Chains A and B, each alone.
Chain A
Amino acid sequence: MTEDFDMENLSQAIVLGASAIGAGLAMIAGLGPGIGEGFCGGKAVEAIGRQPEASGAITRTMIIGDALAETTGLYSLIIALLLMFANPFIRQL
């Protein structure tokens, strides 16, 4: 009974639980690119409505703007993937 509750298990459990919470919290940053790219798409639609013959160039520029705005969302995805699959805190235990 007392063997189940040693500090080794407890500290591993805490680190893993905290990593899971941290990975979930990190992905709240998925809000940013969603709003930003939606805004970019809305502006592109407005511009095409005003000038339909430039729609090729507008679409290309919109896609480039999308990929640039995606960057910070992907930074948070890297942190979440690191915490889930290559957890550095477990190795320090």
Chain B
Amino acid sequence: MTDLIKPMAEFSVEGPLKSISFDIGSYNVVISESIVVQWIVMLVLGIVFFILGRNLKVRSTSRRQMAAEYLVNFFNNMVRDTMGEKYRKYTPYIGGLFCFSILSSLMGLFGFRCPTSDLSVIAAWGITTFVLTLRNKLKTGGIKGYLKGFIEPMPFMLPFNIIGDIANPVSQTLRHFANILAGSVIGGLIYFALGQVANGLASIGVPAVCSLYFDLFSAFIQAYIFCTLTMAYVSMAECGDD
């Protein structure tokens, strides 16, 4: 770059950790910041759920057990209301995804870069949803039912059905990713802009108020929407042969 462009100060959405890359044979392995923060999230969630699930009694007498029962009832009701009775076995996956997504997005409050603002992480979840819908379609209709489902109302709907099948996980992924990334960028910009003003003093209380909406509210809503869409896509993906 020439000296036509001289930025005033640098702005980037990087977190505090640097990524490590090493070679195994001829394959380059990168451990990025998202992976390390996800390990932290897994550790925290594992410990919390392990503590919540110990020493349960039939009639609960402790607040810890009531919290655990509240969580389990919340996820059971959510899955049963959206998917119906015969998809109860998806509850652990939906519950785990929901909690993982919320805690990953809230990691931005601790100074890390959220794993959910990394497209690879969300794309993996979107691909998982796609594989789940594919499995449901193949299980209820077989390969013939699945292929017939593409020309279902009329034969000229074939390209529209294909595009619709691909667009569902893509839009789900991009929605979650862009919301969380926009929250991180706006938070970073507010800190950065206020930090230039009074030698850093103006960036003390104000960004926290904005981060109430962009970080907290956004994280909960996006995790809920992602899980609801996953449940809706999987339960509506039935190529019945009746």
A residues near B (Cβ < 8 Å) are 8-9, 12-13, 16, 63-64, 67-68, 70-71, 74-75, 77-78, 81, 85
- A67 & B171 in contact (Cβ 8 Å cutoff): no
Knowing that A64-B228, A74-B178 are A-B contacts, what are 16 other residue pairs whose CB atoms are under 8 Å apart, sorted by A's residue number? A8-B2, A12-B1, A12-B4, A16-B5, A64-B225, A67-B175, A68-B175, A68-B225, A70-B175, A71-B174, A74-B174, A75-B174, A77-B178, A77-B182, A81-B185, A85-B12
Contact status of A74 and B179, CB under 8 A, knowing A63-B221, A67-B221, A68-B225: yes
- A67 & B222 in contact (Cβ 8 Å cutoff): yes
Complex formed: what's the CA distance from A85 to B182 in Å?
Answer: 13
Q: Which residue of A lies closest to B179 (CB)?
A: A74
- A75 & B178 in contact (Cβ 8 Å cutoff): yes
Closest Cβ–Cβ distance, residue B147 to chain A (whole Å): 29
Contact status of A71 and B2, CB under 8 A, knowing A64-B225, A77-B182, A81-B185: no
Closest Cβ–Cβ distance, residue A54 to chain B (whole Å): 15
Write out the residue numbers on chain A whose beta carbons fall within 8 Å of the beta carbon of B4: 9, 12-13
Q: B2 contacts which of A12, A64, A70, A77 (Cβ < 8 Å)?
A: A12
Write out the residue numbers on chain B whose beta carbons fall within 8 Å of the beta carbon of A75: 174, 178
For the residues of B in contact with A, the DSSP-based class is helix
Q: Which of B4, B171, B178, B179 has the most CB of A within 10 A?
A: B178
- B178 & A78 in contact (Cβ 8 Å cutoff): yes
Write out the residue numbers on chain B whose beta carbons fall within 8 Å of the beta carbon of A81: 181, 185
Q: Which residue of A lies closest to B226 (CB)?
A: A67
Write out the residue numbers on chain A whose beta carbons fall within 8 Å of the beta carbon of B12: 85
Complex formed: what's the CA distance from A16 to B175 in Å?
Answer: 28
Interface residues of B in 167-208 (CB under 8 A from A): 171, 174-175, 178-179, 181-182, 185
Complex formed: what's the CA distance from A77 to B228 in Å?
Answer: 24
Q: Which of A13, A64, A67 has the most CB of B within 10 A?
A: A67
Complex formed: what's the CA distance from A79 to B2 in Å?
Answer: 25
Complex formed: what's the CA distance from A67 to B222 in Å?
Answer: 8
Complex formed: what's the CA distance from A74 to B222 in Å?
Answer: 13
Complex formed: what's the CA distance from A8 to B225 in Å?
Answer: 47
Closest Cβ–Cβ distance, residue A27 to chain B (whole Å): 12
Could you mark each residue 69-105 of chain B with 1 if its beta carbon is under 8 Å from any beta carbon of chain A, else 0? 0000000000000000000000000000000000000
Pull 27 A–B residue pairs with CB atoms less than 8 Å apart, ordered by A.
A8-B2, A9-B2, A9-B4, A12-B1, A12-B2, A12-B4, A12-B5, A13-B4, A63-B221, A64-B228, A67-B221, A67-B222, A67-B225, A68-B175, A68-B225, A70-B179, A71-B174, A71-B175, A74-B174, A74-B178, A75-B174, A75-B178, A77-B182, A78-B174, A81-B181, A81-B185, A85-B12
